[in-house]
Structure formats: C-alpha cells, structure tokens
Amino acid sequence: MTDIRLSEEQKQLIEELGVFHEQTGLQPAAARIISLLLVSDKYELTFDEIREALNLSKSATSNALNFLLSISRIEYITLPGDRKRYFRTPLASWERELQRRVEGVLKGNSLLRKVLAQRPADTPEFNKKLEEVIAFTDYMQEEMKEVIRRWKESSARR
C-alpha cells in the first residue's frame, strides 16, 4: 500500500499538467507520471507508489517509466541496502537538460543545412522556407546564449 496521499487540488493539478504534457507528445501514463513527480509532496517515488497513486497497471507503469527514462525526462536513484528504485524529475540538472535540448536543435539545424544544399533549384518556395528555419535557429542559438548569460548574472545577484 502506498503512503502517497494526494489532495483533491493535487489530483486536479496532476490532471491539468498531464493534459499539458500529452499535448507536447507524451503518452497519457507518461504524462501523468511526470506530473505526479512534480506535484507529489515526496520528491522521489517508487514504482509501486507511482502505480498506486495514479491507479495504473504494472505494465502501463513499467512502459511509461522506461519510456521517460529513455528520453531523460526522469531519472532514478537507489539507496544503500534498498533494492527499490526511486524515480524523480531531473530538476537538479535542468541546465544540463536545457543544453542537451539546444544541442539537439543545433544538430537538427546542421542536418537541415545538408538538406538545403542538396535541394533542387526548381523548388524555390520550399527552399526559401527551409532557409528561414535555418536562419531562425541560428538566431535563436545566439539569443539563447545571451538569455542564459543574463539569467546567470541576475541569479548571482539574488
């Protein structure tokens, strides 16, 4: 039996966050797990705590956790002498995760440059839109560096 007790307000917030995460492409179970890990009073939850709190089957819980782990949306820890895994959101490493996502966008942009280089000249409208995407991504990269620099400066003053 789980010791996770959720208020009605927390349950509603988990549902709202879950819908939001579904709209970003996550499956419903994975979306609810991310939401639970953010909302729960406990920072780290076991498989059974997650399964029972969300009323999911073992299979749905296992599949969703494995998926979230594979895309680095959650992480787990183990404790000495305890065979259980404790799942949590990687909030402590949010800067590293942001950098990983930016690098993914940059890799995608590099691939788009290759696509553009091999595009036929007789598709000018398509090529122009591709050039715009590449230019915007370049612009976003430079702006993101500046935003991070300014944020670090302001947080250092707090």
**Domain ranges within the chain, ordered by starting residue:** 8-89, 93-157
Ranges in the chain, pLDDT < 50: none
The token pair that represents 76 in the structure block: 């787990």
pLDDT attached to residue 98: 79
Quote the pTM value: 0.74
pLDDT attached to residue 155: 85
The token pair that represents 130 in the structure block: 């591709």
pLDDT attached to residue 113: 95
Fold type of domain 8-89: Arc Repressor Mutant, subunit A (1.10.10)
Closest Cα partner for 56 from 76, 74, 35? Answer: 35
54 touches 33 (CB < 8 A) = yes
pLDDT attached to residue 45: 96
H or E stretch covering 121: none
pLDDT attached to residue 142: 86
DSSP helix/strand/coil, 77: strand
Q: Measured in whole angstroms, how far is the alpha carbon of residue 130 from the centre of its chain?
A: 26
The values of phi and psi at residue 27, to 5°, are -70, 155
Cα-based angle 68, 38, 73 (whole degrees, multiple of 5): 20
Closest Cα partner for 32 from 4, 84, 92? Answer: 4
pLDDT attached to residue 1: 53
CA distances from 151 to 58, 98, 99, 133, 158 (A): 42, 14, 14, 26, 11
